[in-house]
């Protein structure tokens, strides 16, 4: 492996840096986008039971819910505007949801850039290697054909490395985007269920006041 890196020359340095950055982003996103971290099991049901009891919601409880997870932040945003109507809650959910998506997509643009830049840097390294090889031919002649073939092979190492960096980066970029989209669907479902419970609780409260 070290010999291949040496053979690729200095253009291999930015490719290796891209590989390290891509690996760091992938590991960080795997850790941050764990399902139990984004959608803690049972949290939505717990909040619905909490609201269904009809007891006053303490601001401290709502803030604690907001800090638990992205799902908690979304449900807390709904509780902030409870009693203002379903349309207001829907707008708040959409607004907070956009911010949550932006947070969950952190570093994914960088990963996509690595996927796009890897082959280009690999091609650049190959071109640099070919230029150096042909300049050597101008100075010393063709010489040994085996040596010429070896020089071409060394130049192509950068292209291969660029593809090795780009393909996993692109695959994980698509994977994380798909995972986030799935999370958003589940969070919207939890928000709708909480809206129904809030409406029921509001109707029950209004009925008790009339009674």
pLDDT of residue 143: 60
Residue 41 phi/psi, 5° resolution? -60, 130
Q: Which residues contact 89 (CB under 8 A, 6 or more apart)?
A: 78, 81, 82, 195, 198
- Is the pLDDT assigned to residue 173 strictly greater than 90? yes
Specify the pLDDT at position 151: 66
Instruction: Give CA–CA dist 149/11, Å, rounded.
Output: 20
The model's pLDDT over 179-188, given as tens digits with 9 standing for 90+, comes to 999 999 999 9
**Mean local confidence (pLDDT), 59-84:** 89
46-51 average pLDDT score: 87
- What pTM was estimated for this model as a whole? 0.82
Q: Is the pLDDT of residue 210 over 60?
A: no
């Amino acid at each position: 492996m070290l010999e291949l890196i040496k053979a690729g020359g200095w253009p291999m340095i930015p490719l290796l840096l891209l590989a390290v950055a891509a690996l760091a982003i992938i590991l960080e996103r795997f850790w941050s986008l764990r399902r139990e971290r984004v959608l803690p099991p049972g949290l939505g049901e717990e909040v619905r039971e909490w609201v269904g009891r009809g007891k006053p919601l303490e601001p401290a409880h709502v803030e604690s819910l907001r800090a638990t997870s992205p799902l908690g932040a979304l449900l807390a945003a709904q509780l902030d505007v409870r009693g203002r109507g379903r349309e207001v809650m829907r707008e708040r959910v959409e607004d907070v949801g956009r911010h949550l998506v932006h947070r969950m997509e952190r570093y994914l643009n960088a990963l996509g850039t690595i996927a796009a830049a890897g082959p280009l840097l690999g091609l650049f390294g190959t071109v640099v290697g070919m230029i150096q090889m042909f300049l050597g031919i101008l100075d010393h002649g063709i010489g040994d054909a085996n040596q010429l073939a070896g020089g071409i092979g060394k130049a192509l190492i950068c292209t291969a490395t660029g593809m090795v960096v780009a393909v996993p980066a692109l695959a994980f970029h698509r994977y994380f985007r798909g995972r986030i989209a799935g999370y958003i669907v589940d969070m919207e479902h939890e928000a709708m269920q909480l809206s129904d419970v809030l409406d029921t609780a509001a109707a029950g409260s209004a009925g008790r006041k009339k009674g």
